[in-house]
Amino acid sequence: MKIVGVAACTVGIAHTYIAQEKLENAGKKAGHEIHIETQGTIGTENELTQKQIDEADIVILAVDVKIAGRERFEGKRIIQVSTEIAVKSPNKLIEKAVEVVNQKK
Number of domains comprising the chain: 1
Q: What is the pLDDT of residue 93?
A: 98
Q: What is the pLDDT of residue 26?
A: 98
pLDDT tens sequence across 38-96: 998 889 999 999 999 999 999 999 999 999 999 999 999 999 999 999 999 999 999 99
Q: Which residue has the higher pLDDT, 105 or 19?
A: 19
pTM for this entry: 0.96
Which residue pairs from 88-96 have beta carbons closer than 8 angstroms and sit at least 24 positions apart in sequence? 90/19, 90/22, 90/23, 90/25, 90/26, 91/26, 91/29, 91/30, 93/23, 93/26, 93/60, 93/62, 94/3, 94/23, 94/26, 94/27, 94/30, 94/32, 95/30
Q: Which residue has the higher pLDDT, 60 or 104?
A: 60
At residue 11, does pLDDT exceed 90? no
At residue 104, does pLDDT exceed 80? no
Q: Which domain covers residue 99, as residue numbers?
A: 2-103
At residue 13, does pLDDT exceed 90? no
At residue 37, does pLDDT exceed 80? yes
9 is catalytic: yes
CATH assignment at residue 16: 3.40.50.2300
Q: 6, 9, 63, 87: which one is catalytic?
A: 9
